[in-house]
Amino acid sequence: MRDPQIQSQVLEAIRGLAAYGLGSGIGGHVSVRVPGQRMFYINAFEKTFEEMQQRDIALLNFDGEVVECETTVSPGQTFHHGIYKQRPDVNAIVHTHGFWITSQSALGRPPRNLHNLCTYFDGRTCISPSDDFTAIGPALKDSDLAIVIPWHGAITVAGTLGDAAALHVTLDYACRLDVTLPQDTPVMPEHLVQEMRRVLGKANYLDLTWNLIRRKGIDFFNGTRVIPSPVA
């Protein structure tokens, strides 16, 4: 039943996110839906993203039950199968406690439109009071790409693992801008938001960012663990 290819994809994303400094502590999950089945792969709990190995990628079903696992699964993984059941278009989920993402979560709001990349999340970010699906489910709209959990962290969802990871790195960047720039910093006019999204789509930004994430994961893996880039 084990699918080493999907496990490798999850590990690739985890190591790339670790290179960005998004996985230096215990906690955070990356998951991928198994095509055509009510199951998903997700990383184990007791290691950081920086330390993760392929054996640490577990297989669970949509009831949250462990199908295959050599290590310990996070007790906080319940929202993954909830999102997969509610959003058939979602095939991958990323959740971290990155510093800037967590700082944004303390503000309890989506990041402001302070750069063209921030427009991905304008009107497509929900605020959930907890990471339990009973809270996320009612808050999550069909068009949402991101979930901010106040005083906790954030989640990104997408149809592919590459898009979910690229959106997460982009969200971290958007959060850093929002947290560090003054409250009176001018935001992008609303009429430009859709135009910027079209430009980013034409530029193939998410695919290119996913390729960058993968390269960073390789470049900063020393054979045992990922050493995060000092400048992500």
**Distance between CA atoms of residues 32 and 13, nearest Å:** 10
pLDDT digits (tens, 9 = 90+) for 51-60: 999 999 999 9
pTM: 0.96
* Residues of the chain scoring pLDDT < 50: none
Which residues are CB-contacts of 104 (< 8 A; sequence separation ≥ 6)?
111, 148, 154, 175, 178, 179
Grouping H, G, I as helix, E, B as strand and the rest as coil, residue 13 is helix
Question: What is the β-pairing status of strands 39-43 and 153-158?
Answer: unpaired
Which H or E run contains 96?
A: strand 92-96
4-219 folds as L-fuculose-1-phosphate Aldolase (3.40.225)
Token pair of 225, please?
Answer: 């663990």
Task: Output b/e per residue, 195-205; b: 16+ Cβ within 10 A.
Answer: ebbeebeeeeb
pLDDT digits (tens, 9 = 90+) for 173-194: 999 999 999 999 999 999 999 9
pLDDT over 90, % of the chain: 85
Average pLDDT, the chain: 94
